[in-house]
Amino acid sequence: MDLERKDLGVGTKPALIVVDMIKGFTDPACPLGSDCPDVVSANEALLRAFRHRSLPIFFTTVVYHNNNQARVFRQRIEALNLLTPDSVWVQLDERLTRLPGEELLEKQWASAFHKTDLDARLRRCQVDTLVVTGLTTSGCVRATAVDGLQYDYRVIVPREAVGDRNQGAHEANLHDLQAKYADVVSVADVITCLPDPTD
């Protein structure tokens, strides 16, 4: 039985965190990838809405510069070793072109917060709410959402804007995120709740 909980909604300064929408995860030709055009489209819609309102946008990618980074994680999932600085797989999906002023954060572990300065960047922007999207629901999206709550941000997960190689894991993790850590809502509901661009 799930615990009693309540939605917190969007605060006064939301940021969009686009987690690992990189070619290695959106191209099924990569061992780490899957075919997810609907997730890409949902992220395109959110990017348009955040840009229209001049709200902060952060992209993440996974890059390993040496053999000591995330050593155990890479022993478990050897395909991660493909994510090197000179690899096409670490580049953002070209359908989600990053514009000037939108930050790109390199990470080595699942959470966008772990051993990065994401929290400091968000505090500088006076962010109080994270809209977490991307890939994968059961991995880096979930880890980032949980850590977002642990850093005292409201967390929103738009269900159409996240995806997973395993549909069962996708659904189970959306359920668990909604039960404990985040508001899991539609992309349309997120856009409706964003601050007015004239505010």
Three-state SS string across 93-144, please?
Answer: CHHHCCCCCCEEEEECCCCCCCCCCHHHHHHHCCCCEEEEEEECHHHHHHHH
> Is 140 annotated in the active site?
yes
Opening angle at CA 187, ends 186 and 190, nearest 5: 90
* Active-site residue (options: 30, 36, 140, 193): 140
Pairing of strands 129-135, 103-107: unpaired
Q: Cite the active site residues.
A: 140
